[in-house]
Structure 1
C-alpha cells in the first residue's frame, strides 16, 4: 500500500528484468474515473487496514500462481486521497504464453475488487458516500 503515485514503466521493468523465460507480460492500471453509479465524482478516499490488506494481496498473488501458469506477479495499490485520473492500482503478470497472463491478470483484478479489504469513499455533487466492492 502506498499513498504516492507509481511509475508503470519501472513496475514493468521489474517484471521483465532477468526474465527471458516469459514471452507474455500483461499489465492493468486502474484510474479514478469521473462518473460512477450514476453520479459525477470529484475525488475519492481509499482506506485500508494495514497488515491485513498487504496479507490479502500477497495471498491473491500466491493463489494466482497456483491457479494459472504464470511466473511473476506484481500488485501495487494506492490508498489515501485520490483525484480524478490518478492511478489507483497496478497489476502485472508474466507467463510463457499470453492466454495465462491475460486470464491471471483479469482474475486478480476481479478478486481485488471483491476480496481485498479496501473501503472507498467518493465525493460526488450530492455529497460523500461509501461505495461497496
Structure 2
C-alpha cells in the first residue's frame, strides 16, 4: 500500500508506519524530519513550506519507483503550510526483506527528495526570514 502525498494536515507517524507493515518485510526504516530550533547559530521559530504539488507528487513517485519494482514498500509524505518547532515536516519509510536494504533505500529517498522535489521553505529566524529549498 504505497502512500505518497503532499499534505497540509499534521503528520501522524504511527499511522504512516502502519502503511509499511506486512509479513514479507523483515526490515523497516523510517526517517522523520521535524522543524528544529537551532541550525548552527541560527535560531528558527517556524517554517512555511510550499510546493508545486502535482509536480512534487510526480517526482516523489518517480523516486519511489525503483524500490517498488524491487518489491519494497515506500511511504513518502511531506507537509506544507505553516509548521512550528517540533512539528513533523516529512516522513519517509521503506519496508524491505532485510534491514540493510531498508536503511539504504530510506537514506537515498530523503537525500534525493531534498535535491529534486519542488518543495520550498520560508524559514522564520529570530533575526530575519530566510528562503530556500530543502538543503538541510
- TM-score, with structure 1 as normaliser: 0.90
Q: Distance in 2 between the 1:37 and 1:78 partners?
A: 24
Which residue number in structure 1 is paired with residue 98 of structure 2? 97
- The answer for the alignment partner of 2:10 in structure 1 is 5
Cα distance between partner residues in 2 of 1:64 and 1:110 = 15
Unaligned runs of 5+ in 1: none
Measure the CA separation in 1 of the matches of 2:110 and 2:28: 15
Q: Does 1:41 align with 2:21?
A: no
C-alpha contact (below 8 Å) 1:33/1:84 kept by paired residues: yes
Compared CA separation, residues 100 and 71, structure 1 to 2 (3 A): same
CA RMSD of aligned residues (A): 1.4
CA change 1:118–1:131 in 2 (3 A) is same
TM-score in terms of structure 2 length: 0.88
Counterpart in 1 of 2:62? 59
> SS in structure 2 opposite 1:90?
strand
Distance 2:61 2:7 in 1: 15
> Structure 2: 5+ residue runs without aligned partners?
1-5
Q: Is the 8 A contact 1:70 1:101 kept in 2?
A: no
- Which 4+ residue blocks in structure 1 deviate beyond 6 angstroms? none
Q: State the shift of 1:37 in Å.
A: 5.2
